[in-house]
Chain A
Amino acid sequence: MTGPQPPLTAQSPGHCQVELYGPARLAAGVKQVSIPVGEGLSLAQLVRALAARCPALVGSVVDPERGALLDGYIFNRNGRDFLARPDALVRPGDRVLLLASTAGG
């Protein structure tokens, strides 16, 4: 039997790692993106930063004008908390997962 997964930790100081899964990964063509967050970013700011770093996500995954993910997607912070509230913050060292929010199957 294999051991547990290594803990989710970001690598770059002052940054968060956004990991892309599902259609977001297909659209971006990369598995993860490092985003500078200063002392913290709101979800809207994170979306806009992500759109700037990965333009391929605009219109299919993120809406930078609204500062929101499109329907069908959700952020998760450090593998624990799904983020939907506007006052949620992403801080340096956080690992943010960008997931499809629908399940089933």
Chain B
Amino acid sequence: MNGYNGKVLHVDLGLGRSWEEALTEPVLRAFIGGIGLGTYLLYQHCPAGVDPLSPANPLILATSPFAGTAITTTAKYAVLAKSPLTGFIGDSLSSSHLALELKRTGYDALVLHGACPRWSVLVIVDGAVELVPADPFLGLDTWATELAVRAQVGGGRVAAIGPAGEQLVRFATISNDGRHAGRTGTGAVMGAKRLKAIAVRGTRPVRVADPAGLQRANQALIARARGPATVKYRQLGTAANLLAFDRVGVLPSYNYRQATFAGAEQLSGEELHRQHLAKIVGCASCTVRCEHLYRTLDEGPEAAVRLEYETLYALGPLLGIADPNAVIRAAQLCDRLGLDSISAGGTLAWAMECYERGLLTPADTGGIALRFGNAAAVPAMLTAIAQRAGLGDLLAEGSRRAAARLGGGSEAWAMHVKGLELPGYEPRGLKTMALGLAVSPRGACHNRSAAYEVDFSGHVDRFQAEVSRGQLAAAAEDLAAVLDSLVLCKFIRKCFDDLYTEAATLYRLVTGWAMDGAELRRAGERINNLKKLFNIREGWTRADDTLPPRCLTEPLADGPGAGERLTQEELDLMIAGYYAARGWTADGLIPPEKLRELALDILLATPAGARAC
């Protein structure tokens, strides 16, 4: 095969044995790779109803047909498991060198079953598999683990969990090359398998069907990727969102009690660029180079870290913190400990409001004043979460479970959907995005749904809820699924005149398989339907597609949208439009005819999540 290796490596961590599974052309064409292929494998190999932290929950790493080719921005891989945070599908992407090394081992995916009898490092060198003791690495942070494991195995690339993953923090990450598979807690799944790190080294070449044609297409794409469509990412990075969002009143602050932040200017991407920029780098195989590393400037411990908008929002305005030095330190700590910064910030914001309301006291916090704006509290709380120490043990469960356990009405201000804490987009001021957050299979997610683009487009009224937003949100999800499966970085999505057609051309040049835009679009729809099938099998109901109570009962308090509301009725209207656009029932279930239309009835062994309408 060109572009693909045509096989999956299965490893039983408990028995210490491995075997291969062939991947056929129909499956690969149907699910592409990355998130799509990973979703297919998860559906096939994850037993229904499994405890996400049990050995039976498989951990899947999936590469893609574009990884290892010359195509720009394609060094990414997907990580999937049943999420310990949501109980639904957990998927995330990470970037850079490990994606390429994984591809060169000769497999399109790894499926890790069971759990190691003792803490181990999984070492894969081309097709050879070995488990080695991880004792020397236990307790090390993610960076130190990567370096130490690489030194021991003699090179290659390493995906590792930090102390948070070892302690099964439900929003623990898997990290590699300074990048992270961040959301949905796959780091905890890895920790539950007593797997401290995965080291891969590969020498198998990646073949493409039409090298000359691919080179021409890639050069054209690289040229466009250096143009105005990516200038924001190249010059300022995603941190540029913060001040813009503040000015249009969609910057969630103080646990979503405000939509603007007085400290936005000093925390902005513009100011960070002016004062704190250390350097700009890029992933492997990337010609955009969006990674902005910022350093602290005050007299505290020196820190430098890559800072994206979501981390900036979650550890800054969401907590009422305006000091960039404090946010940089907190971000670095999340990276080292192996914590999803969005969920960490969202959970801390919930806790701060609990403290403000008297539900948590200094006796609970070990004397820490867990107040909004108290930057000094954050490092201690992040460390406590990673160690599950004191209050950290409660917070390590994520805001949904923590609120359920603490009670006192605190569920009213736990800002999550399906258990996944909200990203930095105020739903009451971006109503298409509100829909996207509510219905996304992995929970509140700005990445699997780019529905905010509709709200920012100028072609709709972002404060109005309309049934027609359903089709727009579904289309945004399908496009995201295609990008996440090929894989192409979303930051170049505006570099295409017709993304589906042009991406299909790239796919054809890589694989040699005929593919057009319509088939690629259909693959995106198929992947999202399969994610939904998985969730239905794991107990999804209509009630899970919703937003936090605060978003549906309180008006915006400030900003240009002050007084604007999002009602339950409005959300229900848009969700109904989304289900209709998807061809689902009014209850959001997938009818048999939709499964047949997408060939899911043939591609899957038994579509156990489907119910007749």
Q: Which residues of B contact A22 (CB under 8 A)?
A: 232, 235-236, 240, 243-244, 269-270
**Bound-state Cα–Cα, A103 to B242, Å:** 10
A74-101, CB under 8 A of B: which get 1 and which 0?
A: 1110111111110010000000010111
| Closest residue of A by beta carbon distance from B462 | A82
B198-234, CB under 8 A of A: which get 1 and which 0?
A: 0000000000000000000000000000011111110
| Closest residue of B by beta carbon distance from A97 | B247
Q: Are A1 and B372 in contact (CB under 8 A)?
A: yes
Asked if A13 CB lies within 8 Å of chain B CBs, one says no
**Bound-state Cα–Cα, A23 to B239, Å:** 12
Q: Which residues of B contact A104 (CB under 8 A)?
A: 238, 241, 309, 446-447, 450, 490-491
| Closest residue of B by beta carbon distance from A2 | B262
Q: Are B249 and A79 in contact (CB under 8 A)?
A: yes
Q: Are B247 and A19 in contact (CB under 8 A)?
A: yes
B563 to chain A, nearest CB (A): 11
Q: Which residues of B contact A81 (CB under 8 A)?
A: 458, 461
Q: Which residues of A contact B246 (CB under 8 A)?
A: 5
B289 to chain A, nearest CB (A): 15
Q: Are A21 and B270 in contact (CB under 8 A)?
A: yes
Q: Are B247 and A103 in contact (CB under 8 A)?
A: no
A96 to chain B, nearest CB (A): 11
| Closest residue of B by beta carbon distance from A5 | B260
Listed residue (B238, B310, B455, B458) with the most chain A CB atoms within 10 angstroms of its CB: B458
**Bound-state Cα–Cα, A24 to B244, Å:** 12
Q: Are A82 and B458 in contact (CB under 8 A)?
A: yes
Q: Point out the residue from B228, B244, B310, B446 that lies within 8 Å of A70, measured CB to CB.
A: B228
Interface of chain B residues 537 through 587 with chain A (CB within 8 A):
557-562
Asked if B24 CB lies within 8 Å of chain A CBs, one says no
| Closest residue of B by beta carbon distance from A88 | B458
Given the contacts A74-B458, A102-B229, A105-B309, A79 and B560 also touching, CB distance less than 8 Å:
yes
**Bound-state Cα–Cα, A73 to B231, Å:** 10
Q: Are B560 and A26 in contact (CB under 8 A)?
A: no
Q: Which residues of B contact A73 (CB under 8 A)?
A: 228
A31 to chain B, nearest CB (A): 9
Q: Which residues of A contact B494 (CB under 8 A)?
A: 71-72, 102
Q: Which residues of B contact A61 (CB under 8 A)?
A: 228
| Closest residue of B by beta carbon distance from A70 | B228
| Closest residue of A by beta carbon distance from B232 | A100
Q: Are B450 and A84 in contact (CB under 8 A)?
A: no
Asked if A11 CB lies within 8 Å of chain B CBs, one says no
Q: Are A5 and B270 in contact (CB under 8 A)?
A: no
Q: Are B239 and A105 in contact (CB under 8 A)?
A: yes
Q: Are B244 and A100 in contact (CB under 8 A)?
A: yes
Q: Which residues of B contact A82 (CB under 8 A)?
A: 455-458, 462
Q: Are B235 and A97 in contact (CB under 8 A)?
A: no
Q: Which residues of B contact A60 (CB under 8 A)?
A: 228, 231
Q: Which residues of A contact B235 (CB under 8 A)?
A: 22-23, 26
Q: Are B244 and A99 in contact (CB under 8 A)?
A: yes
Asked if B320 CB lies within 8 Å of chain A CBs, one says yes
Asked if B256 CB lies within 8 Å of chain A CBs, one says no
Q: Are B270 and A4 in contact (CB under 8 A)?
A: no
| Closest residue of B by beta carbon distance from A85 | B458
Q: Are B456 and A4 in contact (CB under 8 A)?
A: no
Q: Point out the residue from A25, A78, A97 that lies within 8 Å of B270, measured CB to CB.
A: A25
Asked if B166 CB lies within 8 Å of chain A CBs, one says no
Q: Which residues of A contact B490 (CB under 8 A)?
A: 104
Interface of chain B residues 305 through 346 with chain A (CB within 8 A):
308-310, 320
B450 to chain A, nearest CB (A): 7
A68 to chain B, nearest CB (A): 12
**Bound-state Cα–Cα, A81 to B233, Å:** 24
Asked if B453 CB lies within 8 Å of chain A CBs, one says yes
Q: Are A103 and B458 in contact (CB under 8 A)?
A: no
Q: Are A21 and B243 in contact (CB under 8 A)?
A: yes
| Closest residue of A by beta carbon distance from B261 | A2
- Residues of chain B whose beta carbon lies under 8 Å from any beta carbon of chain A: 227-233, 235-241, 243-244, 246-249, 254, 257-258, 260-263, 269-270, 273, 308-310, 320, 372-373, 425, 446-447, 450, 452-453, 455-459, 461-463, 490-491, 494, 557-562
Not counting A76-B248, A103-B238, A105-B237, a sample of 7 additional A-B residue pairs whose C-beta atoms are within 8 angstroms of each other reads A75-B458, A81-B461, A82-B458, A85-B459, A101-B456, A104-B490, A105-B308
Can you list 30 pairs linking A and B with CB atoms under 8 Å apart? A1-B254, A1-B372, A3-B262, A4-B559, A4-B562, A21-B247, A22-B269, A23-B231, A23-B236, A72-B228, A72-B494, A79-B559, A80-B248, A80-B463, A80-B561, A82-B455, A85-B458, A85-B459, A88-B458, A100-B240, A101-B457, A102-B233, A102-B453, A102-B491, A102-B494, A103-B450, A104-B490, A105-B239, A105-B241, A105-B310
